[in-house]
Amino acid sequence: MRMVLALLLLLLVACSSSVTGDAGKSAQPATRAPSTYQQKVIDFVAAHDTPRGVIVHLYQRYNAGNRDRSVVDVIESSEAAYEAVTLSDCVNPIVEKSHDDDLLKISAKIAKAGLTDVVIAKALAVLP
């Protein structure tokens, strides 16, 4: 499973022109507009039947320094869903081109070649 996660992280980096790194930045004033990354997450969540105002309000609270677990949980799950769909849109064509059925087969090939630790180290270096 670690290998699959590492491979997904590497593919995300390779595929991602949308990830800006804004998700982990320090608190901003509540009146400041959501970051570019946060706006992408807001648009994604709003397109999936969550009222836009709800997620905007949570980001405003978060940007103002509110790290209440309930706020963070919703933001993290929203960002994870956004990233999963974004990653899937990029990874699926790569996996199809490799003629492997799934990431487990690709991971197995990497492990069989003895490169598991190298791939995991590279993934962690890029996305600690």
DSSP assignment of 92-104: HHHHHHTT-SSHH
CA torsion 77-118-16-126 (nearest 10°) is 80
Q: Is 75 within 8 Å of 62 (Cβ atoms)?
A: yes
CA distance 33 to 109: 45
pLDDT digits (tens, 9 = 90+) for 72-84: 999 999 998 888 8
Q: Tokens 């929203």 sit at which residue?
A: 78
In this prediction, the residues of the chain whose per-residue pLDDT falls under 50 are 1, 13, 16-31
Q: Tokens 């598991």 sit at which residue?
A: 116
pTM, two decimal places: 0.55
Q: Which residues contact 64 (CB under 8 A, 6 or more apart)?
A: 27, 28, 29, 30
**pLDDT of 56:** 92
